[in-house]
Amino acid sequence: GRISKQGDLVLSLYDINQQRIIDNGGSVFIGDRLFIEIKYRTNDHNSDRHQIIAENCSIASSVSDNEIKLEKIQLLTNRCPTLDSRLSIRFQRIDPYHLKSTIFSINKFQTTSIVYLRCSIAICFGQVEKCVERLCPVAGRTSSQRLNNSSIAPFDYVDEDNARIVSLKQRRRLS
């Protein structure tokens, strides 16, 4: 987790097949069904005045976007499922500080078996209306349903480097 000015932000990757949270540096099998869980814990007593939202999430072969052979799959872009992605997720709000993603599975990257799950999270203190879900364009629908207003609301705090390192393993077939 990472400490923000008023609380602790935790990004978890849960493997449904293994029925457990994948530790940082842990491994999942290729094709396992996964979901992302984001929790924000605060000691603030006026906690009803806070809310979190996932801005962007990606799985990449490196922490750095400047890597020459970077492989990156964008899961969530500007709070919306990525339209042109091999994988895209949406988040379900459990409560103002707790989000769960839809289920997805990772395919092997060409260059590495180590991948980085990264999500940028906005935390809104007081102005929770800035941390609400957007009306997202749906793949295959007409463009009239797209939002013209693509500007992102200002918010108090974004955690950009909350990364989880996961290694992908091939499941051995029993002969």
- Domain for residue 38, yes or no? yes
What residues make up the domain containing 91?
Answer: 2-138+149-167
For the entire predicted model, the pTM comes to 0.74
Give the integer Cα–Cα distance in Å for 6 and 13: 23
Q: What is the count of structural domains for the chain?
A: 1
DSSP character for 130?
G
- Domain for residue 163, yes or no? yes
- Domain for residue 143, yes or no? no
CATH of residue 8's domain is: 2.60.40.4100
- Domain for residue 172, yes or no? no
- Domain for residue 89, yes or no? yes
Please report, in angstroms and rounded to a whole number, the separation of the first and last CA atoms in the chain.
41
Q: How confident is the prediction along the chain (175 residues), in pLDDT tens digits per residue?
A: 555 556 788 999 999 988 999 988 899 988 889 999 999 987 766 656 788 999 999 999 888 888 888 999 899 999 998 876 567 898 999 999 999 999 988 878 888 888 999 999 998 887 888 888 888 877 554 443 333 333 333 444 444 445 566 676 666 666 5
- Domain for residue 144, yes or no? no
- Domain for residue 63, yes or no? yes
